[in-house]
Copies of this chain bind each other. A is one copy, B any other.
Amino acid sequence: MKISLRAQNIQESPIRKLSALANAAKKRGTTVYHLNIGQPDIHTPEVFFRKIYEYNEKVLSYGPSDGLEALKVAMVRYFDYFKIKLENKNIVIATGGSEAISFAFNAVADPGDEIIVSEPFYTNYSGYASQCGLKIVPVTARAENGFHLPDISEFKKKLTPRTRAILLCSPNNPTGTVYSERELKDIGAFAKKHDLFLIADEVYKEFTYDGKVHFSVLQLEGLEDRVIVVDSISKRYSACGARIGAVMSRNEEVMKGITKFAQARLCPPTLEQVGAIGAYELPHDYFAGVMAEYQKRRDILCSILTSRQGIVLQKPEGAFYIMAKLPIADGETFARWLLNEFSDNNETVMIAPGEGFYSTPGKGKDEVRLAYVIEALKLERAARLLLIALDRYQG
């Protein structure tokens, strides 16, 4: 039986594809430090679970397709803190940021249409593009420029009659780059000029360092009808397993289309939405501690890695990833070797090969994405393991 082309061609997650090797290493008794996946060790706020314990309906029934109203109210209040004015009707609760991406893609583009994305980019955009029958068209950001947005002329070169949208992620996964207000205004003007949607994945909004403030595309004036934001509680409240996200736009046609997509899958998970309401009611200073913790980890990881000649990286401005160039020929071969052959004191480290974050063939082969989501002492050990491994790998 021939399966579909999209099922054949969809890229395997570079973040998850080596899991079997990691499991094998663990079965051999080797400790594996996970720098490969953005799974924070920060505790999920206790109120998230408490709200669920307090749920006392006898029937766990379908909720509204667009999400629980109380969750939208809590989100509107949350964004109000950032001076971002939203109404309930501007929000559809999605099953994770993942579903929010697919809703946004489906709302703006038909099979064969194109979406321009600055690469390296979050690999699952490709996965959704495959499923939605879309083509991701990359413009390549340069490490030397801190992975900031390429010049507008680069975007212009990629325009075709099938271009429907530009997709950005800020703070960026996998680079940690936080786009400036200026950059976003420029790209917004470009989107307007060429009648494109501007989709922004802002799930790392809260995590910016050295006093940098995140600017949201929702704050761009005159672009209300073309801005769509992908949001999630996964990182915000360290609740990745909840699968609660949102898609937000002030374009009523977009929200109407998305609501119909949402109806087709009935509703997002009810109990996890109930937990999310609790999390959103936390006072905003909850984030200060989390942000300080991530900044400390970033500093540890960067200082250890930059101590070694041959490793090239830019100190990230936000999120909790580093895209690092290593003195290796191929990140995936190295990542496999780390899990299959390397160990120091019966410990090793797992990384995400960089190539999977690019869609231009051959790019990113000597890069890896590292997530700094484990506690300081472990992170320090993991970084040093990487250096030891590099010495041995070359030798």
Contact = CB atoms under 8 A, between A and B. Distances in A.
A40 B61 CA distance: 8
A197 B7 CA distance: 14
Given A52-B271, A60-B240, A240-B266, A261 B127 contact: yes
B7 A95 contact: no
A175 interface: no
A195 B238 contact: no
B41 A59 contact: yes
How many copies of the chain does the oligomer comprise?
Answer: 2
Contact of A3 (B124, B257, B264): B257
Contact of A253 (B1, B5, B107): B1
Given A10-B257, A270-B241, A1 B60 contact: no
Among A6, A37, A238, the one with the most B-chain Cβ atoms within 10 Å of its Cβ is A6
Nearest to A68: B241
Contacts of A360: none
A303 interface: no
Interface residues of A, number: 85
B4 A109 contact: yes
A21 to B, nearest CB: 15
A240 B62 contact: yes
A6 B264 CA distance: 13
A107 B8 CA distance: 8
A135 to B, nearest CB: 12
Interface in A95-112: 95-96, 98-99, 102, 106-112
A16 B134 CA distance: 29
Contacts of A254: 1, 3, 7
A13 to B, nearest CB: 4
A107 B3 contact: yes
A272 interface: yes
A270 B60 CA distance: 16
Among A127, A130, A264, the one with the most B-chain Cβ atoms within 10 Å of its Cβ is A264
Contact of A1 (B251, B260, B268): B251
Given A61-B240, A225-B1, A257 B124 contact: no
Nearest to A195: B1
A10 B264 contact: yes
Contacts of A102: 131, 265
A269 interface: yes
7 contacts: A7-B253, A39-B62, A59-B238, A95-B243, A111-B133, A241-B269, A241-B270
